Chains A and B, each alone.
Chain A
Amino acid sequence: MLSRRSLLTAAGASGIGLTAAACGSSDGGGTADGPVDMGAEVSALSGEISVLTPDFTGDARAGLDDMIDQFMENNPDVSVTVDQVAWDKLNEKLSTSIAGGVVADVIMAGVGWTPPFAEKGIFAQLPTDYVEGIGLDEAILTSSTFDGSYYSLPIAMDLRFVVYNKEMFEAKGITEPPATLEELAQIANDLTGDGVVGLDLLTTNIRQAWIHLLYAFGGTLFSEDGMTPTMHEEPGAKATQWILDLIDSGGVDYNMQAAEGQPTPFMRGEAAMQLLSTAAWNDWSTMMPELTEDGAVGMFLLPGGDGNDPVMFQGGTTVSVGQRSQNQDAAAALVQHFMDPAMLAQGNAALGKVPPTADIPETPEISENLLTSFALEHLDKAGAAEGGSAAWMEIRGNLQPIIEACLTGQADVETTLSEMKTLSDDAISRI
């Protein structure tokens, strides 16, 4: 018969076994510290390299394959394999790859992921002169840095701003988009009523909406070195209170978040404004093509609070060279290839995302996408981004419930900010 003692003994033995197994070596190449060489001769490049990407799924895959084919035509001795992984499993894939020492040579990841993986020695440092030579806006490049150096490059952006229903604005006699957060709150309240909520702030992503507002009030998530949380300071309190005030007045409805797959309240005409990402264009095109017509909707950047400039939230995909790559020169050459303006145009046309620069050849997919066009006009304002600390991957998943608890009245602003600080301090202490 199975006794409690034997069960506990067996459980203990299993634990020891797992611990022992977990202590595997993590060899995987490894190269010297310092920036990678971005200037290797084509004739010197050979061998195999692998690309890990969470993007270019479905129809977009052909676009990536074509970009790689062009690279291999120019570098005939290099072969490239692609490892495609779902976005929501990218962290697991990277983590197990790191533990097993088999990390890809070129890695695509999310905005905010750079400091954690640079700190772990997974992303290689990129030469500053090369990165700055590409000519990307400083606002776009901020999230690619760690410890004062560049470790990734933005390749396909997902930018966020506010869209509004022009008819509803006209019906209320509103002729201009708001210039401040106070005006935005006033307009949201004015537009609320008759089954319409003024502003759908929370559908896209509550955590990212809060961070967007934090930056609009002039705040940041962390200090410049990423070792001290700053999200709990005054701008954080103002951002939280701004949302709570709008929820109180009815201008924002916490319960109005669209479930996955559903059209958003803005698409259904139940919200007059929405904080949305440029990726919404895909849903509009397939579900409500009338919204994609020129002049159908108005757009404006989230205004700044306390006299700050308007700001766009920056999400999307970055590309890095693997620090443990056995063929780093070829990997660096592929990253350079991806950052070529023609490739940026081709890749983003396939993905429906925003290239990190407007200086690209014209493609109909990009120029006809009105959300992308608006974002490209304001790339210099894309300064709000997640991340900024090597502990971010540990913090980000736990930040959302803290914000939600506040917005649903389970915690006051002070408690919320205090919990954010504790969460961040704990995670940073484990770096």
Chain B
Amino acid sequence: MVTDSPTLSPAADPTRVDVSAPGRHPDRSVRQTSLRRQKRVGNALMLAFLVIAALIMATPFLWMALSAMRDPSEMAKVPMPLIPQDWRLENFAETLERAPFGIYARNSFILASAAAILNVVFASACGYSLAKLRFAASKFVFAWTVACIMIPFYATVIPVFLMVRHMPLFGGNSILGQGGIGWIDSWWALIVPGAVSPFMVFLFRQFYVGTPTELIEAARLDGVSEFGIYSRIITPLIKPGLLTVALLSFEAGWNNFLWPLLVTTSENLRVIQVGIASFRQEATTDWHLLMAGTTMAAVPMIVLFLVFQRYFVQGFAASGIK
């Protein structure tokens, strides 16, 4: 039932203070107005700063996108016009004609998707066990994982290459990994070495550490299997983490250049970053085509981040890594 409360005049309402009344906080309204103004000015300054910072951050990308549509002769002008005078959209078509970018993009997508899926599956399992399971070597394994993050790629590339090349019973190799080429020039070589990244294991562990152990104990008392606890109870709690790892792994796979270059020889296994490199020759570079290729290669990652940025930031914030 709705009842109308009696309306009191300002003068009759004891809870109200007439700020305009003489002798009663004469400067409060001025102060509030001043505070509001200060807040507005502060917000405007912050907004201006953020706009400038955003523009500075976006400048290289804008420059890349604009250069992708320039005539090559325009790049020789001094000073180079900020906005292309002759918009050459055909640079994109020419770029696609110069190399089989359809195949390269397909391969990059497969490689990036595989990296995202495999890392989410395997690294989350590793991260969960390091965070929530007690076993004798857990500290050692965790320390080893952290140490592995610190080893630069260049230090591991030859050992990993040797493992790939000597993979037993693949590519004509014997059981001892001799005689053939193993996984060289195959999807195995492209995907398997990047299937679990130590950094992603570490990241997942940080996410799992923040989940309530009481839930796990309750589930154990209820007879849920350890895999069931991991997959159905705890992992759904770290969805931002799953998305963060998936995005980071996808990005790493999409931008991967050196490893695919080293382990593949066939054109039909080459990835988009290798294709872009074809615009650079020993002493010259087709900058307008390079920019067009790079712009096209950047688009999928930009779209992914635009769509998932909220979860992505949330994921990083939740893991404590900023």
Binding site for B on A (CB under 8 A): 1-3, 6-7, 9-11, 13-14, 18, 21-22, 24-25, 27, 50, 54-55, 57-59, 61, 81-89, 92-93, 95-96, 99-102, 110, 158, 204, 260-263, 267-268, 277, 279-280, 282-283, 286-289, 315-317, 351-352
Interface stretch, picked from B30-38, B50-58, B138-146, is B138-146
If A14-B148, A86-B277 touch, whether A263 touches B159 (CB-CB below 8 Å) is no
Taken together as a complex, chains A and B put the C-alpha atoms of A93 and B270 apart, in Å, by: 14
Binding site for A on B (CB under 8 A): 72-73, 75-76, 78, 98-99, 139-140, 142-148, 150-151, 155-166, 178, 181, 184, 258, 261-262, 265-267, 274, 277-287, 289
Contact A282 B279 (CB under 8 A): no
Residues of A within 8 A of B280 (CB): 57, 86-88
Contact B139 A6 (CB under 8 A): yes
Closest residue on chain B to residue A51 by CB atoms: B265
Contact A18 B98 (CB under 8 A): no
What is the distance, in angstroms, from A356's C-beta to the closest C-beta of chain B?
16
Closest residue on chain B to residue A286 by CB atoms: B72
Taken together as a complex, chains A and B put the C-alpha atoms of A10 and B159 apart, in Å, by: 18
Query: Which listed residue, A7, A57, A102, A260, touches B146 by the CB 8 Å rule?
Result: A7
What is the distance, in angstroms, from B10's C-beta to the closest C-beta of chain A?
63
Contact A57 B279 (CB under 8 A): yes
Taken together as a complex, chains A and B put the C-alpha atoms of A165 and B267 apart, in Å, by: 44
Contact A7 B161 (CB under 8 A): no
Residues of A within 8 A of B142 (CB): 2
Residues of B within 8 A of A61 (CB): 99, 278
Contact B159 A268 (CB under 8 A): no
Contact B277 A288 (CB under 8 A): no
Contact A263 B262 (CB under 8 A): no
Query: Which listed residue, A13, A96, A158, A286, touches B283 by the CB 8 Å rule?
Result: A158
Residues of B within 8 A of A57 (CB): 277-281
* Given pairs A27-B178, A351-B281, A352-B284, 20 additional interface contacts (CB within 8 A): A7-B147, A9-B140, A10-B144, A13-B144, A18-B151, A24-B166, A25-B166, A50-B265, A55-B281, A83-B265, A86-B280, A87-B281, A89-B258, A89-B277, A96-B262, A158-B283, A268-B78, A279-B283, A279-B284, A280-B283
Residues of B within 8 A of A286 (CB): 72-73, 286
Residues of B within 8 A of A110 (CB): 282
What is the distance, in angstroms, from A264's C-beta to the closest C-beta of chain B?
9
Closest 7 CB pairs of A and B: A279-B283, A21-B159, A24-B162, A287-B76, A10-B144, A10-B143, A83-B265
What is the distance, in angstroms, from B192's C-beta to the closest C-beta of chain A?
15
Taken together as a complex, chains A and B put the C-alpha atoms of A316 and B282 apart, in Å, by: 8
Residues of A within 8 A of B281 (CB): 55, 57-58, 87, 279, 282, 351
Contact B162 A58 (CB under 8 A): no
